[in-house]
Structure 1
């Protein structure tokens, strides 16, 4: 699938005005081999705990994008190299982390797309606390399970319908 977020925005100004197409603020760094990726969202809300991230990435991704609302924490990483490999192996198109990742060199060798706020060398705790398949809010943008995510060099879009 080929798309450009700029073209999607230009062709859908009515959806932006109606709130069914949103642009995430430009707060994310790019990781992974895929500069551009898209798919339906699977959502998690966790805080400094990546047990649900791992258990979700262990399931078939079927071309989806895992959106992890880590509360914007910059105190530890929620995704590392092993999870990047797992995501690639299980067919996830990409991962968006409202938080940090680690093992960026390993992640950059994985055939997935990833966006995160920053890198951090410390791993998260592992208690298994969090929520799956709920609406999450990242930088003021609500992302619901099943929304369509489009990410490329120019930004990340969230749409209530498939636009590409």
Structure 2
């Protein structure tokens, strides 16, 4: 990512949506961007794990966990898999765990918080569908830009 999100917004303005939800930067890579892939799941990380175990090719996985902080949707082992498979980052509308270990990985991670509790692993949810939260629509294939100031998404 060559431009910071503030500069990118100044340059492209209405072509971008700004995510107003206040995500925490938790990965070792603080600035990241890439094409969007999506998972929708609630307190169940089986789909997150399976998607991040596939080639990422520099994509960013946007996980709509419904904003739940009841259990973590990603831990250090899943994050390690994402790094090994070439993902640029993960944005989780929910919680992660193992945040100290994740902060040492070359992976962009934005999440609402952390919780040491494991999630369910039934595989419920949907992949690669249009996701909307915080008034922003995340369309698979469009580009997402993340840095310390926030998150921008192509319309």
Match of 1:134 among 129, 132, 154: 129
After superposing on structure 2, the runs of 4+ consecutive aligned residues of structure 1 that deviate more than 6 Å are: none
The corresponding residue for 1:18 is none
- 2:25 maps to 30
| Residue equivalent to 2:92 | 97
**1:83 equivalent in structure 2:** 78
* Unaligned runs of at least 5 residues, structure 1: 16-20
Where 1:75 maps in the other structure, the secondary structure is: coil
TM-score by length of 1: 0.92
Instruction: Give the Cα separation in 1 of the matches to 2:90 and 2:83.
Output: 10
TM-score by length of 2: 0.97
What is the count of residue pairs matched by the alignment?
155
The farther-off stretch of 84-93 and 1-10 is 1-10
Which residue of the partner structure matches residue 147 of structure 2?
152
5+ long unaligned stretches in structure 2: none
Tell me by how many angstroms 1:2 deviates: 1.5
1:45 corresponds, among 30, 40, 44, to 40
Give RMSD over aligned pairs. 0.9
Q: Secondary structure at the match of 1:12?
A: helix
